[in-house]
Structure 1
């Protein structure tokens, strides 16, 4: 399999594409610039099967409807943030005075207590990682040893917790209980910035010392 990081929009939110040898793919967090993303997918002859959200803040969902309509694919989101898709006051687009409020159609699939998720030939272990937001989810693909962590964990940093529903103590617990237990060579694909590894963050992330 292969994966690609595609920073989109003014906040350079990372959208990720993971694809197999059949050119089937899943997309994570298409936050902005739907036209650019659709053009890239078609140019690389990739066939999206689904959109998976790590969480439903506006900068991670802005391109969702245009992309899922272009490819007629389903959208997955955690139940705690299903209503966020429809409400700018919850997804943050109203809070940040965006020029256009983000209101999406409802999700096709709502994640509840599932421990795994299979889409086509792709199977992920699901980890609820609240703290940055109450419905944050991390998707671990053991075969590729990558975890799509959204805004939970970054290179040398962690997600902000000053937005509605954020909780610093809960975030630190999520990281320690669900992410730092993964193999140390697991690649962490974050919502912003470059990739890192679990081992690197265990050794050097100043926010995780002394827990």
Structure 2
């Protein structure tokens, strides 16, 4: 049985997800943002061991909490597509992202993801879906048994990710959204990087970016 806890963190109110396999007691974190000391403290209090960090992309607000988890869990592996390694190499005030906050040093070990890869948590599997556009290496993680889509900054409730940031690509994002529309069932729960959760069926009806409007 999987359990997800959503932490809303940082100045951009990022959704950081802690997912635990209650049978094995193992956990993973998706997109640790600023203030992820809260996640580490919660895990320690609940006696949860975090085994891996999954990143939907490399923007500062989605990776800034990595060091807080690495201090508590030595050599915890990071999962990300290599196309976003560019962002992880940046550090300090001169390389801060658009929100103007300094980027911490992000070190591995790294697991470079490919489209179609799977990441395991206990007996559960998360499918890696490459969704470039917001960044070159953006991905979504889909847990088929629970029908959870962790969509990062690719798809939001009623909206979609920005393409006007460095290395953003509007055409690729449109293709990625069309792909999600084709392969994700209407009953799937959308758990985005920012904002409220939704359902894929509702987004197909109400989200203009899934109706071809970028």
TM-score normalized with structure 2 length: 0.89
Deviations 1:92-133 (A, max 9, x none): 7244432x3332114421113553223443311111001111
In the alignment, which residue of structure 1 is the partner of 2:6? Answer: 5
CA contact (8 A) 1:78 1:136 kept: yes
> Cα distance, 1:158 vs. partner?
0.4
Deviations 1:33-58 (A, max 9, x none): 13211111122221111000000100
In the alignment, which residue of structure 2 is the partner of 1:148? Answer: 150
Q: Do structure 1's residue 32 and structure 2's residue 10 form an aligned pair?
A: no
Q: Distance in 2 between matches of 1:74 and 1:88?
A: 20
In the alignment, which residue of structure 2 is the partner of 1:70? Answer: 72
In the alignment, which residue of structure 1 is the partner of 2:163? Answer: 161
Q: Distance in 2 between matches of 1:163 and 1:88?
A: 18
**Larger deviation, residues 40-49 vs 140-149:** 40-49
TM-score normalized with structure 1 length: 0.91
Q: Distance in 1 between matches of 2:124 and 2:53?
A: 12
CA contact (8 A) 2:21 2:121 kept: no
Q: Do structure 1's residue 93 and structure 2's residue 118 form an aligned pair?
A: no
Q: Which runs of 5+ in 1 are unaligned?
A: none
> Cα distance, 1:3 vs. partner?
0.9
In the alignment, which residue of structure 2 is the partner of 1:18? Answer: 19
In the alignment, which residue of structure 1 is the partner of 2:198? Answer: 196
CA change 1:20–1:157 in 2 (3 A) is: same
CA contact (8 A) 2:155 2:192 kept: yes
Deviations 1:56-112 (A, max 9, x none): 1000000102202312221111110123212149xx7244432x3332114421113
Q: Distance in 1 between matches of 2:87 and 2:181?
A: 25
Deviations 1:151-201 (A, max 9, x none): 000000001111011112211210111354211110111000111111010
> Cα distance, 1:31 vs. partner?
1.0
Q: Which runs of 5+ in 2 are unaligned?
A: none
Number of aligned residue pairs: give it: 208
RMSD: 1.9
CA change 1:206–1:21 in 2 (3 A) is: same
Q: Distance in 1 between matches of 2:97 and 2:30?
A: 23
Tell me the SS of whatever aligns to 2:125. Answer: strand
**Larger deviation, residues 9-18 vs 174-183:** 174-183
Match of residue 184, structure 1, among 176, 183, 186: 186
**Larger deviation, residues 109-118 vs 190-199:** 109-118
